[in-house]
């Protein structure tokens, strides 16, 4: 019976650096002795002076530990795979950074892979990965990286768990509502793998702290949901020479890539400038199917593991597109932009900038002439003032809740339906949180409307400060 024997990385030096040897045999014992006879050094590692298999060597037949079969007497058949797993099991070992018996059991499916083995698992254990965001993308990322044995996981997050998160942020549960996401995530990671070191950065990532945080890690994984932070993460990774595993989601579609300026393009090579504020709604405004971040986040985790192992073909210079509705993947080639301001041949960005300003986001001011608070709007409506309320959200959002007396004109429909509005009227526009409606206000002002304002904080502010019975989503 021809049987394939998988040789672990530390022992390959004794068999000409081969990762596999094919021999004939009827039992595990016969096969292993034939393998051992090919090298005196290998034989010394596998068997003691009395010819017995050493107690720090575990052997698997296909995916089963032979100690739970018939040990060395276990019969083999054509095409079987025997894996040699050196470990500590009550004795000493000549291998550095030995794994415990529990480690061998936990990572056995990894150790059976020639691309991983003990050497690869050790790389995972030594790796330090920073996950920015413990939300939709961060949830599967953190769970799978912890399960895979990535030794140090850093988490950047400052948010708390909300009921609206539970539809997709699977690292959190109902009992965690109101807790800090970073604490909830740490708890679940430890439940999966108590050996993982979790480093919590309970803060908003900013130009002031990004370099200090990111330089502590080998790989950065972007699980953010806003443009300023995406550009901040990209620029910090380029300046520090760190690979950035990118993922983004919206409704039923997602994107994945690996931006590593040492070997390929960066995020700015793909998107040199951000879209105007409010033009591209976030998942909080546009929605996302709950399974999608699981798909994209898992792909990001896979890319991170490949980078750690140094195996396979990472998505450097490639953008993977996923359409869940059509269940279709598409790959696009990305090229490094020689004129890129941060990773090009003559970069103009040598330090982190103000990314809120770069993305066109300015802090709202209480006296902003283009905005009105929920309390002020409620007071003016109650007094009988003639104010035209325009809801620029989508129909499905309108169905959830609305302000009485409003009319629905979705943001994308405003240019075609602007004739339905009168420049002489007092107009107040609103969306969920005020970003889309702010964009609509600017558009109307540009074409001649003067008495138009944005509801600060959107319908969420109305529900919080005026109508507590209104559902929030």
**Cα–Cα distance, 421 to 423 (Å, whole number):** 7
Q: Are residues 314 and 451 in the same domain?
A: no
Q: Does residue 48 lie within any of the structural domains?
A: yes
- Predicted local distance difference test score (pLDDT) of residue 365: 43
Eight-class DSSP state of 248: E
> For 130-180, where are the alpha helices, taking DSSP H only?
138-148
- Domain end: 333, 358, 383, which one? 358
pLDDT tens-place string over residues 31-88: 999 988 888 778 888 888 888 887 777 888 988 888 889 988 999 999 899 988 865 3
Q: What is the C-alpha R_g of the chain?
A: 29
> For 241-338, where are the alpha helices, taking DSSP H only?
267-270, 283-286, 291-309
- Domain end: 74, 89, 116, which one? 116
Strand (E) or helix (H) holding 41:
helix 40-46
**Cα–Cα distance, 396 to 369 (Å, whole number):** 30
Q: Does residue 318 lie within any of the structural domains?
A: yes
pLDDT tens-place string over residues 418-435: 999 999 999 999 999 998
Eight-class DSSP state of 97: S
> Starting at the edge strand that comes first in sequence, how are the strands of the sheet with 81-86 ordered?
20-24, 2-6, 81-86, 57-61, 64-65
Q: Are residues 134 and 242 in the same domain?
A: yes
Give Dmax over CA atoms of the chain in angstroms. 100
**Cα–Cα distance, 140 to 135 (Å, whole number):** 9
Q: Is residue 283 annotated as part of the catalytic site, yes or no?
A: yes
> For 313-389, where are the alpha helices, taking DSSP H only?
355-358, 374-382
- Predicted local distance difference test score (pLDDT) of residue 140: 97
Q: Are residues 237 and 330 in the same domain?
A: yes
pLDDT tens-place string over residues 98-126: 678 888 889 999 999 989 998 999 999 99
Q: Is residue 343 annotated as part of the catalytic site, yes or no?
A: no
Decide if 441 contacts 452 (C-beta within 8 A).
Answer: yes
326 phi, psi to nearest 5 deg: -100, -5
Please report which confidence band the pLDDT of residue 16 belongs to, taking 50, 70 and 90 as the band edges: confident
Structural domain boundaries enclosing 39:
2-116
Q: Are residues 340 and 424 in the same domain?
A: no
The catalytic position among 237, 269, 283, 340 is 283
Is 307's pLDDT higher than 90?
yes
Average pLDDT score, the chain: 91
The catalytic position among 266, 359, 401, 431 is 431
**Cα–Cα distance, 429 to 393 (Å, whole number):** 10
Q: Does residue 470 lie within any of the structural domains?
A: no
Q: Are residues 305 and 197 in the same domain?
A: yes
Instruction: Look at 1 and 364; give whichever has higher pLDDT.
Output: 1
Structure-token pair, residue 233:
């993460």
Angle at 153 between CA 148 and CA 158, to 5 degrees: 135
């Amino acid at each position: 019976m021809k049987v394939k024997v998988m040789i672990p990385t530390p022992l390959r030096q004794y068999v000409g650096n081969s990762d596999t040897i094919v021999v004939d045999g009827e039992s595990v014992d016969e096969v292993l002795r034939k393998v051992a006879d090919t090298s005196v050094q290998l034989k010394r590692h596998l068997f003691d002076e009395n010819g017995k298999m050493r107690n720090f060597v575990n052997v698997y037949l296909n995916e089963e530990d032979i100690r739970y079969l018939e040990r060395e007497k276990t019969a083999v058949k054509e095409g079987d795979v025997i894996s040699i797993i050196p470990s500590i099991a009550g004795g000493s070992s000549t291998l550095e950074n030995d794994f415990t018996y529990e480690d061998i059991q936990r990572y056995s499916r990894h150790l059976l892979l020639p691309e991983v083995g003990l050497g690869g698992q050790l790389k995972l254990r030594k790796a330090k990965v920073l996950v920015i965001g413990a939300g939709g993308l961060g949830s599967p990322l953190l769970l799978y990286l912890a399960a895979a044995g990535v030794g140090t996981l850093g988490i950047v997050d400052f948010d708390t768990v909300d009921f609206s998160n539970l539809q997709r942020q699977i690292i959190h549960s109902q009992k965690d509502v109101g807790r800090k996401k970073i604490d909830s995530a740490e708890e679940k990671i430890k439940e999966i793998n108590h050996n993982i070191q979790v480093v919590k950065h309970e803060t908003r990532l900013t130009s002031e702290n990004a370099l200090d945080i990111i330089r502590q890690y080998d790989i950065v994984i972007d699980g953010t949901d806003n443009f300023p932070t995406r550009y901040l993460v990209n620029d910090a990774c380029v300046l520090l020479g760190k690979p950035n595993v990118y993922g983004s989601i919206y409704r039923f579609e997602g994107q994945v890539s690996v931006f590593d300026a040492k070997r390929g393009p960066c995020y700015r090579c793909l998107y040199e400038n951000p879209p105007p504020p409010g033009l591209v709604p976030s998942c909080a405004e546009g929605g996302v199917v709950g399974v999608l971040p699981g798909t994209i986040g898992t792909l990001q985790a896979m890319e991170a593991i490949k980078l750690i192992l140094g195996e396979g073909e990472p998505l450097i210079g490639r953008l993977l597109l996923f359409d869940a509705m059509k269940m279709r993947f598409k790959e696009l080639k990305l090229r490094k932009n020689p004129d890129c301001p941060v990773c090009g041949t003559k970069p103009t960005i040598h330090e982190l900038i103000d990314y809120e300003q770069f993305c066109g986001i300015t802090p709202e001011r209480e006296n902003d002439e283009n905005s009105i608070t929920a309390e002020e709007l409620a007071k003016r409506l109650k007094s009988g003032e003639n104010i035209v309320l325009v809801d620029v959200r989508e129909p499905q959002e309108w169905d959830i809740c609305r302000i009485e007396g409003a009319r629905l004109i979705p943001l994308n429909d405003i240019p075609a339906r602007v004739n339905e509005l009168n420049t002489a009227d007092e107009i107040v526009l609103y969306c969920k949180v005020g970003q889309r409606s702010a964009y609509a206000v600017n558009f109307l002002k540009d074409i001649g409307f003067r008495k138009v304002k944005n509801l600060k904080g959107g319908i969420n502010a109305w529900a919080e400060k005026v109508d507590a019975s209104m559902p929030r989503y």
